[in-house]
Structure 1
Amino acid sequence: MLREAVARLRNGRWLVVVVALALLAGAIAIAGRIASGQAADNLRDTALAALPLAAGTLTGEIEKQRLVPLVLARDDAVRGALRRAGKMEEKALNDKLKAIAGDASASAIYVIDTAGIAISASNAGEPTSFVGIDYNFRHYFREAMTDGGASQYGLGTISGRPGLYLSSRVDDNGKPLGVAVLKVELDGVEANWRSSGFLVFVTDEHGVVLATSQPEWRFHALAPLSAEDAAAAHDQLQLADAGFEPLPIRRGAGDGLATIDSDGKPRQFVEVVQDLPGAVPGWRLWLLTPADAALSSAANTARLTTLLGLLLTGLLAYVLTRRRRARRLRQEALARMNAELESRVSTRTAELTRSNTALAGEIAERENAEAKVRRLRDDLAQAN
């Protein structure tokens, strides 16, 4: 029986230890998750604050460049060249376009007639000159001829370099003469994004990456494209060889976190996004800020703080329990001493009572004897 009781007591103690350790581990894990969530929220606030600046860098550049073809569409020299329709070399206009391109930091500026042939360009005379090239197939030409203006992101026919084409139709008393086009390669914008420490990129309406701080991501897609979307993206961008492979990004379940697999090493980022209606219809700007270090630091700090707090709480509880036990033991010892003292007093009192009773009896007997002696004496005296 005693052994069974001791075994049950030991098992109960081990159960308490196991439960306490489980609660400790759970509290530490919860504290880490809460701290990581708070750190992610702080990073998201930082990213949201940086988002307008990244967007403004792009939209500001586009708006600045967009003015150039609008102004050229109303320029008399451009109209005159288009009226001549390539009947003579437009050296003066070529020089003018070259100067404007330099001032505007544009990659190229050129003028296209109604047949789609470039009759003048800022790079005229260079090996990569656009003069004489047929751009009738380009959307920015066809849409500008129809709608008055257009924009298109794509690769250069001659240079093979990516850029944004901005076009404006040139009219003469309501009659279309041709189209003025400016190409901006957005290298400066992308360099600005890279220097910010964030990952920044722009996607079109199909989710295809265009301008980006990560050049290797260009013409990749946010997610696998359906055959229909891929065909539409090919047509819009006029890219024959693009496969639109998905980006190496995995997104969480609505927590705003994205994981990028790079060289087999997954890294976490906080992701925010903003529409860019002021740039090109359908464009969206994505900004990702590295999160691994901040999330790990916050979680580890919270876990350590929780562990120390729980250990201190446990130590305090242990000390208080020991004190209460010591006080209880002292009280029990004092109670035993009092009980023993009371028992001894009771015993001594009883002994004294018995002694007093016996003494009183002896005294009474003596007094009786003495009384008898006195009576005998009196009787003897009377007899004599």
Structure 2
Amino acid sequence: MPSISRLAHLSIYALLILIGALLAAGIAVRQAERHALVDDAARAGGQLMLYGNTLHTLIERYRALPAVLALDPQLRSALSGPVSLSTQDALNFKLEKINSAAQSSTLELLDRSGLAVGASNWRLPSSYVGHNYGFRPYFLQTKAEGVGRFYAVGVTSGIPGYFLSNAVTNDAGDFLGAIVVKLEFPDLEREWGQGDDLLLLSDAKGIVFIANQPGWRYRELLPISAADRAELAATRQYDKQPLSPLKSQTIREFSKTSHLSRIEGPQGAADYLWESLPLAAEGWTLHLLRKPQALAEDTRNAALAGAGTWLTLVFLGLFLYQRWRLARVHRRSREELEQLVQERTRDLRTAQDGLVQSAKLAALGQMSAALAHEINQPLTTQRMQLASLRLLLDHGRIDDAYRALGPLDQQLTRMAALTGHLKTFARKSPSGLRERLDLAAVVDQALLLLDPRLRHEKVSCVLHLIRPAFVRGDAIRLEQVLINLLRNALDAMRDAPLKRLEVSLEPEPNSPPLWRLSVGDTGGGIAQEHMTNIFDPFFTTKPVGDGLGLGLAVSYAIVHESGGTLTAENYSDGARFSLVLPAEPEV
């Protein structure tokens, strides 16, 4: 019976140890999965920023195009009165040529009622010419505010796109009509479709209008109110496209824009890491959905580490407990021996039995020590591995340490490096920003960006800058203007024997407080017959492929928006461009 009871106790202890190891392994696996999800969400957020920057850059390429074309004298003149057939033909040819050069989808010119009097797609059966788009929100916005933007399915072509529009006015500021550029994104969807991630772009109402996988477009991410549905029907934003809800349930939330959700998608229910990025400039939201990657090797290692840690603690506890029991037995044996010597009355049999019992316990102690040695050896190996890793880190051998962590750590190191990289990007500058700034600092930033080219082409730079020179405007846009002027000057001096760039910033004499910023070169000057056209859109004297001829036109529009003037003149053996802006009083 005692042996059976002892075996039962040992079985219970072994079962408890096994259960503890399983629990420790389960906890370690859950922690590893949680950390893997958090890391995967962080990587997905970084990738989403790259996708958002790509979309923002694509739209920004064309944002200034309607504003520039709205200044075209021919378009303004055509809208000043009834449009004849000959005028309409001329408008169609011109818009077709500009659309081809700008590589936009379509261009259309609407009169004050919203009727398309000219379009770049006039040759197609789906031509916009003769159709009235006065009900479209972008036309109503343009009529009320001067600019408009709207993503919708084309009611004539049936092709979805982003409409950017700008008001065309006469000299008195009266509304004559609108110039509209339409952007379509098939190349962007194909590029996004090459990856494994699911990318969705939704509007302010939560309707997905761009998706890189079939079946996800025209899904409702949010409940649509009756008023919003009536507005969709009135504006025909998505025309006859059926809208269906996208059911989802949040499983775990990492932040307001990051969570793990179960989604009823076209292929059935699945769990996705869901990252969202608001695009405030357009009122859209970009979503990245990624299926969590099960890392079998990592979870297995985590389970083994958890179970190994638990067993290590258990056997260490058993070893210490056995050592304590052995010490206690030795102490008790000594006490018994002393008692036997002192009493001298206990018979030899009892003493012999005590000695036998002590020998048994000593043998048990020796077996326990051997067992502890068998356990301690793998523990020592693990400690040595940890010590080696610490030594690598202590000696700065980061690469060796990362190699010791395995392929996953190398991959995590590479993803940590692309993110650090992109962040150094974009600085967004909303249209119409007017802040107090030092124009001399803008010059410094522009020259800093072009410094490698200045040194490579061995251009001598002569600066005469009065500091500070406070004006009111947008530093990023003014820097864009200055870089355009500097690059044009460097292009003009490419084959010049003497390459000297002169930049001066000084107050304008005999006038209200103004600052004049001039950029001069030794590139031979501007031909007199070109002097009246250099600020026209798409006018360029450079070879085909070197530019669209929009640099000076955009610069002229930016300076005009800032309340200044931009002029050009020939002087000495080169050209000089002068930017004049109202001075901002010092405080």
TM-score category (smaller protein)? 0.7 to 0.9
1:85 to 71, 82, 87: 82
CA contact (8 A) 2:200 2:211 kept: yes
CA contact (8 A) 1:39 1:298 kept: no
Query: Secondary structure of the residue that 1:239 maps to in structure 2?
Result: coil
CA RMSD of aligned residues (A): 3.5
Cα distance change on mapping 1:84 and 1:105 into 2, 3 Å? same
CA contact (8 A) 2:111 2:178 kept: yes
Q: How many angstroms apart in 1 are the aligned matches of 2:65 and 2:214?
A: 27
Q: How many angstroms apart in 1 are the aligned matches of 2:202 and 2:242?
A: 15
Match runs of 1:147-296 below 5 Å: 147-172=145-170, 173-235=172-234, 238-247=237-246, 249-255=248-254, 256-262=259-265, 266-278=269-281, 280=282, 282-294=283-295
**Residues 1:47 and 2:44 are matched in the alignment:** yes
Cα distance change on mapping 1:58 and 1:237 into 2, 3 Å? farther
Q: How many angstroms apart in 1 are the aligned matches of 2:159 and 2:41?
A: 34
Per-residue deviation, 1:122: 0.5
Q: How many angstroms apart in 1 are the aligned matches of 2:148 and 2:248?
A: 32
The total of aligned residue pairs comes to: 342
CA contact (8 A) 2:21 2:311 kept: no
Q: What letter corresponds to residue 78 of structure 2 in structure 1? A: A
Q: Which residue of 2 aligns with 1:299?
A: 299
Q: Which residue of 2 aligns with 1:23?
A: 20
Match runs of 1:345-384 below 5 Å: none
Q: Which residue of 2 aligns with 1:105?
A: 103
User: Could you list the runs of 5+ residues in structure 1 that have no partner in the other structure?
Assistant: 341-345, 349-384
- TM-score normalised by the chain length of structure 1: 0.75
Q: How many angstroms apart in 2 are the aligned matches of 1:153 and 1:264?
A: 27
Considering fraction of residues, name the structure with more helix. Answer: 1
Per-residue deviation, 1:292: 2.6
Q: How many angstroms apart in 1 are the aligned matches of 2:81 and 2:157?
A: 28
Mean Cα deviation higher: 224-233 or 151-160: 224-233
Per-residue deviation, 1:321: 7.8
Q: How many angstroms apart in 2 are the aligned matches of 1:185 and 1:73?
A: 21
CA contact (8 A) 2:149 2:163 kept: yes
CA contact (8 A) 1:148 1:168 kept: yes
Cα distance change on mapping 1:108 and 1:222 into 2, 3 Å? same
Q: How many angstroms apart in 1 are the aligned matches of 2:83 and 2:8?
A: 100
Match runs of 1:327-346 below 5 Å: none
Q: Which residue of 1 aligns with 2:137?
A: 139
Mean Cα deviation higher: 90-99 or 307-316: 307-316
Query: Secondary structure of the residue that 1:61 maps to in structure 2?
Result: helix
Q: What letter corresponds to residue 306 of structure 1 in structure 2? A: G
Q: What letter corresponds to residue 37 of structure 1 in structure 2? A: R
CA contact (8 A) 2:17 2:311 kept: no
Per-residue deviation, 1:14: 4.2
Cα distance change on mapping 1:220 and 1:321 into 2, 3 Å? same
Per-residue deviation, 1:329: 9.8
Q: What letter corresponds to residue 22 of structure 1 in structure 2? A: I
**Residues 1:122 and 2:120 are matched in the alignment:** yes
Query: Secondary structure of the residue that 2:63 maps to in structure 1?
Result: helix
Q: How many angstroms apart in 1 are the aligned matches of 2:318 and 2:269?
A: 44
Per-residue deviation, 1:31: 0.8
CA contact (8 A) 2:153 2:239 kept: no
Cα distance change on mapping 1:165 and 1:271 into 2, 3 Å? same
Q: How many angstroms apart in 2 are the aligned matches of 1:141 and 1:121?
A: 15
Question: Which has more radius of gyration?
Answer: 1
Q: How many angstroms apart in 1 are the aligned matches of 2:209 and 2:267?
A: 25
Query: Secondary structure of the residue that 2:152 maps to in structure 1?
Result: strand
Cα distance change on mapping 1:263 and 1:198 into 2, 3 Å? closer
Tell me the alpha carbon deviations over residues 268-290 of structure 1, each in whole angstroms, 9 at most, x when there is no partner.
Answer: 33222222122x1x311212333
Q: What letter corresponds to residue 135 of structure 1 in structure 2? A: Y
CA contact (8 A) 2:112 2:175 kept: yes
Per-residue deviation, 1:15: 3.8
Cα distance change on mapping 1:277 and 1:136 into 2, 3 Å? same
Q: What letter corresponds to residue 300 of structure 1 in structure 2? A: R
Tell me the alpha carbon deviations over residues 69-127 of structure 1, each in whole angstroms, 9 at most, x when there is no partner.
Answer: 11111111211222243322422322221222223322111001112211110011221
Q: What letter corresponds to residue 299 of structure 1 in structure 2? A: T
Query: Secondary structure of the residue that 1:125 maps to in structure 2?
Result: coil
Q: How many angstroms apart in 1 are the aligned matches of 2:234 and 2:329?
A: 90
Per-residue deviation, 1:146: 1.6
Q: Which residue of 2 aligns with 1:366?
A: none
Query: Secondary structure of the residue that 1:286 maps to in structure 2?
Result: strand
Per-residue deviation, 1:167: 1.0
Q: What letter corresponds to residue 91 of structure 1 in structure 2? A: D
CA contact (8 A) 2:107 2:182 kept: yes
Higher relative contact order (CA 8 A, sep 6+): 1
Match runs of 1:58-69 below 5 Å: 58-69=55-66
Tell me the alpha carbon deviations over residues 33-77 of structure 1, each in whole angstroms, 9 at most, x when there is no partner.
Answer: 111111112112212222222111111111222211111111112
Per-residue deviation, 1:213: 2.0
Q: How many angstroms apart in 2 are the aligned matches of 1:43 and 1:187?
A: 28
Q: How many angstroms apart in 2 are the aligned matches of 1:240 and 1:230?
A: 12
Cα distance change on mapping 1:207 and 1:311 into 2, 3 Å? same
User: Could you list the runs of 5+ residues in structure 2 that have no partner in the other structure?
Assistant: 341-345, 349-587
Cα distance change on mapping 1:128 and 1:293 into 2, 3 Å? same
Per-residue deviation, 1:228: 4.0
Q: What letter corresponds to residue 67 of structure 1 in structure 2? A: A
CA contact (8 A) 2:148 2:166 kept: yes
Q: How many angstroms apart in 1 are the aligned matches of 2:320 and 2:165?
A: 82
Per-residue deviation, 1:209: 1.0
Q: How many angstroms apart in 1 are the aligned matches of 2:199 and 2:121?
A: 31
Query: Secondary structure of the residue that 1:80 maps to in structure 2?
Result: helix
Tell me the alpha carbon deviations over residues 318-351 of structure 1, each in whole angstroms, 9 at most, x when there is no partner.
Answer: 78888999999999999999999xxxxx999xxx
Q: What letter corresponds to residue 273 of structure 2 in structure 1? A: V
Q: What letter corresponds to residue 44 of structure 1 in structure 2? A: A
CA contact (8 A) 1:269 1:292 kept: no
